[in-house]
Structure 1
Amino acid sequence: MATVPLDTPNDGALQLVCLCAGWCTACAAYQPQWATWAARHPDVAFIWLDVEDHADALDAAVPGGVDIENFPTLLLSRGGQPLFFGTVLPHASVVDGLLRQGANLPLLKDAAAMQLCAAVDGLLGCGALQRSLS
């Protein structure tokens, strides 16, 4: 799987971010499935974000810091607006269903999720993150 900088993070396409940590064994187990989903859904930008590697930027963008209770946590957004934010186990049918519903999901009105979307877009815009391509 190749990665390239995402030039237009707010282009209206679905974007799925996996918020993870390098020490997390569940996140490590998630990565092979992540590559499969990226290949299965080429119209979705898949982003792997290690919250510890980008802690300073996330803390600066999200007052009070990013509150992640369990790893891995997914953030699904469209056009910089959050649609889903929560922990999802790496079952293909669950994530595939979430992506199928993505275009029809209502926007989340959660302030922290909206700030997190802005932080991710900022990291993408400056080249600190990359999206996965199949």
Structure 2
Amino acid sequence: MAIERAVPEALTASAPLLVVCLCAEWCGVCRDYRHSFEQVKLAIAADHPQAQFVWLDVEDAADLLHPLDDVDDFPTLLIAVGGEARFFGPLTPQPQTLERLVRSLVDNASARALADPALHAALARLRGVL
């Protein structure tokens, strides 16, 4: 399974911030976006050293993502804050967009968790193997 962690420590349920980029190896936009994802990881780590960034190939991790495994738009991001999924969807592939989104979700204590049970199940499975 092609799960690559941008932060080496093991993921735990108490991780304050998890950013998962769902991409595909065959996707040229994804390959180009990988550098931007790494840039944002470094920028966020300056303020949130426990933040974990994971690059996940949707084809290699389909069993973990099911029924969310039919991701059609790349890159698609899953962002969890304090164990709750706060964002799941495609994002334009600019590093500034991702950084603004991540910071807004972390800084907004009143941001609601997403209510999709399938998303919560996929997040739990991801946390179990990362």
Runs of 4+ in 1 over 2 A off after TM superposition: 55-59, 64-67
Gaps of 5+ in 2: none
Output the TM-score relative to the length of structure 2.
Answer: 0.80
Tell me, yes or no, if structure 1 residue 48 matches structure 2 residue 52.
Answer: no
- Structure number with higher relative contact order (C-alpha < 8 Å, ≥ 6 residues apart): 1
Partner SS state of residue 70, structure 2? coil
Identity over aligned residues, as a percent? Answer: 35
Superposed, 1:19-38 pairs within 5 Å as 19-38=22-41
Q: Residue 102 of structure 2 aligns with which residue?
A: 99
* Structure 1: 5+ residue stretches without partners: 125-134
Q: Does 1:120 align with 2:120?
A: no
Normalised by the length of structure 1, the TM-score is: 0.78
Q: State which drifts further: 83-92 or 110-119.
A: 110-119
Aligned residues: 119
* C-alpha deviation, 1:2, in angstroms: 6.1
Across the aligned residues of Structure 1 and Structure 2, the Cα RMSD in angstroms comes to 2.0
Q: Does 1:70 align with 2:73?
A: yes
